[in-house]
């Protein structure tokens, strides 16, 4: 039977704007008929997969790349004869300073191969949206994917070998798109973020990956709406001789609150997604849990320094059907001590679920910053045993 690991976290963020909507405001939702602040699961997952916690635990070679621009990188790697892996790691996205690893190929051959490979992962733009640009940049625009695609590291390593073969043999792309998919797309993964959060390729559904980790949107346990901060900025060179006014006026929106977050991990599916590598799956689970407890989205951090760690974490594991405990916060909290009341609400709701349905998990562990009980290290050990 499938083993599920469920995480319930309470994290208090001071004034912040971690995750903005299309108007630059903190995201919101209505829950229990009341407005709440919200942090989207997409924002949280990106923060975790990009964190040093994840990189340290599973190493960079087990983290994939999500991009529309892989075709352009393939084009540059072929034309310049540089390593695709090094080019992707190069923060400036430029070939200057990279050593040659193979013979360069013509721009025509590079374009044909780059387009064929890119089309394995999705539809490409087809034509440049810009009028007059460099010929190579024009090709990059044409072969850019219309949607983001997740490339796992095994696929990138395989592409590197293909580029060597193309350069050595000046090989023409003589096979069909379907044959190309079989050659360049992998079912099994060694990238933990692809294995955890899934992959959807509209043009190659056979190579999709079902997410082994489900992440809810974090939501405040209490009613809250965004506030507005009217601010001014002073011009340092304004000596107030003619004008004593501010150099800039503006409005920034923010919010603060105690957020509840729920995460469900299908451990067996994660292991299968990682080609039955149980050791790597365990490291991924530990990294995910630690990141969820310690890493916040980066939005507006320079303006608010709203870094926070979870004040409460409950971990459960068992074969039972998972369930969120968000129902604990449908009703407005009335206490001045919202954190302790929220912990009590989670505990009581968990007990009530067990009374009505029977045990909803085999075991659980928790840590509580408010009382100093439990610790993260013990929780991490618990979820991997």
Quick one: 78 and 149 in the same domain?
yes
Look at 11 and 244; give whichever has higher pLDDT. Answer: 11
Within a domain: residue 248?
no
Helix (H, G, I), strand (E, B) or coil at 327: helix
DSSP 277-289: -HHHHHHHHHHHH
Quick one: 311 and 347 in the same domain?
yes
Quick one: 29 and 89 in the same domain?
no
The answer to whether 207 and 182 are in contact (CB under 8 A) is no
Residue-level pLDDT at 92: 56
Residue-level pLDDT at 236: 77
* Each residue's pLDDT tens digit, 300-322: 888 888 999 999 999 999 999 99
Within a domain: residue 262?
yes
Residue 219 burial by Cβ neighbours in a 10 Å radius (0-12, 13-18, 19+): buried
| Tokens at 217, concatenated | 């949107």
Q: Of 153, 187, 221, which residue sits at a domain end?
A: 187
* Each residue's pLDDT tens digit, 87-146: 998 865 567 778 899 999 999 999 999 999 999 999 999 877 766 678 888 999 999 999
Within a domain: residue 140?
yes
Quick one: 117 and 153 in the same domain?
yes
The count of domains in the chain is: 2
Residue-level pLDDT at 244: 67
Residue-level pLDDT at 132: 61
Q: How many CB atoms lie within 10 A of CB 171?
A: 13
> Across the strands, what pairs with 384?
none
Quick one: 299 and 284 in the same domain?
yes
Helix (H, G, I), strand (E, B) or coil at 154: helix
Residue-level pLDDT at 365: 98
Residue-level pLDDT at 24: 85
Within a domain: residue 195?
no
Within a domain: residue 341?
yes
Helix (H, G, I), strand (E, B) or coil at 347: helix
Quick one: 72 and 44 in the same domain?
no
The closest alpha carbon to 254, from 80, 53, 20, 36, belongs to 20
The answer to whether 274 and 280 are in contact (CB under 8 A) is yes
Question: Does 276 have pLDDT greater than 90?
Answer: yes
Within a domain: residue 218?
yes
Quick one: 149 and 227 in the same domain?
no
pLDDT classification of 160: cutoffs 50, 70, 90: very high
Quick one: 366 and 326 in the same domain?
yes
* Each residue's pLDDT tens digit, 32-84: 999 999 999 999 999 999 999 999 998 877 889 999 999 999 999 999 999 99
Quick one: 311 and 226 in the same domain?
yes
Q: What is the rounded average pLDDT for all residues in the chain?
A: 91
Question: Looking at residues 9-25, what average pLDDT do you find?
Answer: 92
pLDDT classification of 248: cutoffs 50, 70, 90: confident
With both helix axes pointing from N to C terminus, report the angle between 153-169 and 70-80 in degrees, rounded to the nearest 10.
Answer: 40
- Percent of the chain scoring above 90 in pLDDT: 67
Quick one: 225 and 339 in the same domain?
yes
Within a domain: residue 242?
no
pTM summary value:
0.90
DSSP 170-212: T----S-HHHHHHHH--SS---HHHHHH-B--TT-GGG-B--S
Q: Which residues contact 161 (CB under 8 A, 6 or more apart)?
A: none
Residue-level pLDDT at 254: 87
Q: Between the CA atoms of 308, 313, 318 and 324, what dihedral angle is there, to the nearest 10 degrees?
A: -80
**Structural domain for 141, as ranges:** 65-187
Alpha helical stretches, state H, the chain: 41-49, 52-58, 70-80, 84-89, 107-121, 135-142, 153-169, 177-184, 192-197, 267-273, 278-294, 301-304, 338-357, 376-384
Within a domain: residue 159?
yes
Quick one: 217 and 359 in the same domain?
yes
Residue-level pLDDT at 374: 97
pLDDT classification of 1: cutoffs 50, 70, 90: low
The answer to whether 59 and 279 are in contact (CB under 8 A) is no
Quick one: 55 and 140 in the same domain?
no
């Amino acid at each position: 039977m499938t083993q599920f690991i469920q995480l319930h976290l309470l994290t208090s963020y001071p004034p912040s704007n971690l995750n903005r909507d299309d108007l630059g405001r903190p995201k919101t939702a209505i829950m229990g008929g009341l407005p709440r602040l919200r942090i989207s699961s997409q924002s949280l997952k990106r923060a975790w997969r990009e964190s040093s916690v994840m990189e340290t635990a599973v190493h960079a070679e087990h983290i994939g790349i999500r991009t529309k621009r892989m075709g352009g990188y393939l084009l540059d790697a072929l034309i310049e004869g540089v390593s695709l892996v090094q080019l992707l790691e190069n923060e400036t996205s430029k070939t200057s300073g990279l050593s040659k690893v193979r013979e360069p190929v013509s721009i025509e051959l590079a374009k044909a191969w780059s387009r064929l490979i890119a089309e394995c992962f999705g539809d490409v733009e087809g034509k440049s949206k810009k009028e007059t640009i460099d010929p190579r940049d024009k090709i990059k625009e044409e072969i850019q994917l219309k949607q983001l695609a997740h490339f796992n590291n095994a696929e990138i390593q395989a592409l590197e070998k293909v580029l060597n073969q193309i350069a050595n043999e000046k090989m023409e792309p003589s096979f069909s798109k379907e044959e190309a998919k079989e050659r360049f797309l992998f079912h099994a993964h060694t990238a933990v973020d692809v294995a955890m959060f899934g992959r959807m390729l509209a043009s190659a559904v056979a190579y999709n990956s079902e997410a082994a980790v489900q992440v809810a949107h974090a939501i405040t346990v209490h009613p809250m709406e965004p506030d507005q901060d009217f601010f001014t900025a002073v011009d340092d060179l304004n000596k107030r001789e003619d004008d004593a006014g501010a150099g800039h006026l503006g409005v920034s929106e923010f919010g603060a609150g105690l957020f509840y977050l729920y995460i469900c991990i299908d451990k067996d599916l994660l292991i299968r997604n990682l080609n039955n590598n149980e050791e790597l799956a365990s490291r991924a689970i530990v990294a995910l849990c630690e990141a969820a407890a310690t890493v916040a989205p980066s939005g507006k951090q320079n303006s608010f320094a709203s870094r926070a760690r979870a004040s409460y974490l409950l971990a459960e594991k068992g074969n039972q059907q998972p369930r969120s405990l968000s129902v604990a916060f449908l009703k407005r909290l009335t206490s001045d001590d919202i954190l302790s009341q929220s912990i009590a609400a989670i505990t009581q709701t968990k007990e009530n679920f067990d009374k009505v349905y029977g045990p909803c998990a085999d075991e659980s562990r928790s840590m509580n910053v408010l009382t100093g009980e439990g610790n993260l290290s013990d929780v991490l050990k618990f979820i991997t045993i």
